[in-house]
Structure 1
Amino acid sequence: MPIGLIIFIGCAFVLLALLKGSSGPPTPIAKEFMTKREQAMLAALEHVLPMYRVHAQVAMGALLAAPRRPGQRFNPADRNAFSQKIVDFVIVDPTLGKVVALVELDDRSHDRAKDRVRDAMTARAGYKTIRIAGSARPTIPTAIEAVGHLRDVELLDGRAVA
């Protein structure tokens, strides 16, 4: 067997081994859990609402379920409409385990039309969304202005009533 053919076959095996090893998904890398602005707003919300638990970066899949359609099989597209979306903050009454409100901290990346669709979807499920403008600083006064009214909320039958 000529030496050139042996080298070619050897190189082909090495190349195949390298390609086979890279066929899987890339290794994920860590990212910041929250922006500095989100961290500051979380602290302000927790200060203003000490009677509630404030959860950050909650997947909508934890808050919403796809409706069952009578006589039809489950359609993953129904869940995909919301499952990958994230709610900035979820305010929960810890005594009842019920959601009092959703809080969105808007920024430059927010699209008002998409936000309206998203808010309508969560409203149909019975959630109230409070939006804090992108121009608002993440301070205690801003939090009081946005969610201060929740200090007086009563939960009747598991639903928030202001």
Structure 2
Amino acid sequence: MAVKMLFVLFGLVLVVAVLAAIAKGKRGAAGSRGGAALLVCKPTVMDKWEAELYERLVVALKASHVFPQVAMSAFLKEAERRNGGRNVFAQKYVDFLVCERGTFRPLYVIELDGRSHGSSKARERDAQRDAMLASAGIPVKRYTSSKVDFAAVLRDYAEVVQPVPPSSSEASMPHPAGSAASSLGGV
């Protein structure tokens, strides 16, 4: 009887040890500091609405650079070094960052709001993101993903970039390709 109990006890210890090893292996593979995370590539970087708007923005805003899916940590920094301050914005992204051509100075952010932006939690996150960008002096323009009024996009661009009005002698002259004035017309 004692030998039988010993075998049962040994079997239970063995089962527990195997289960513990399996659990530890799964934790390690899923991203612990020692193990490599198992990752897969997303099929696309943007959804169809973002991709469509991106293609139109690149053509229309030739005088600027348009970058999709940009981490806020790429263009924002803390005004003062504080513990944990960077963590507030470090893992947040913007849909599109419009930058000045040549200098790459951020001009403004374009956010494309889909169905998920209707919840109170999403609106709160959007307001927090907008406040962070406003504190850095970066305007945010928001559009609804399924029905973007591209004329409004162009008006907003002109409002933010504020091109210098031409003098009366320049008014009749054509604009060089790639200038802000030529990029707003025809698209």
Tell me the TM-score normalised to structure 1 length: 0.74
Once the two structures are superposed, the pairs formed by residues 12-91 of structure 1 within 5 Å of their partners are 12-24=16-28, 26=30, 27-31=38-42, 32-68=44-80, 74-76=82-84, 78-91=85-98
CA 6–41 in structure 1, closer or farther in 2 if over 3 Å, else same: same
Q: Does 1:127 align with 2:127?
A: no
Displacement of 1:23: 2.3
Consecutive unaligned residues of structure 1, counting only runs of 5 or more, are 155-162
Larger RCO, structure (CA 8 Å, separation 6 or more):
1
Q: What does residue 118 of structure 1 align with?
A: 129
Say which structure is richer in helix. Answer: 2
In structure 2, how many angstroms separate the alpha carbons of the residues matched to 1:115 and 1:10?
A: 52
| 8 A Cα contact 1:48 1:148, kept in partner | no
Cα deviation 1:74-126 (Å, max 9, x = unaligned): 311x2222222111001112311211221111222224454344223212212
Counterpart residue identity of residue 104, structure 1: E
| 8 A Cα contact 1:41 1:143, kept in partner | no
SS in 2 for 1:109: helix
% of aligned pairs identical? 32
In structure 2, how many angstroms separate the alpha carbons of the residues matched to 1:19 and 1:115?
A: 38
Asked which structure has the greater CA Rg, the reply is: 2
CA 135–142 in structure 1, closer or farther in 2 if over 3 Å, else same: farther
Counterpart residue identity of residue 12, structure 2: F
In structure 1, how many angstroms separate the alpha carbons of the residues matched to 2:15 and 2:77?
A: 52
Tell me the TM-score normalised to structure 2 length: 0.65
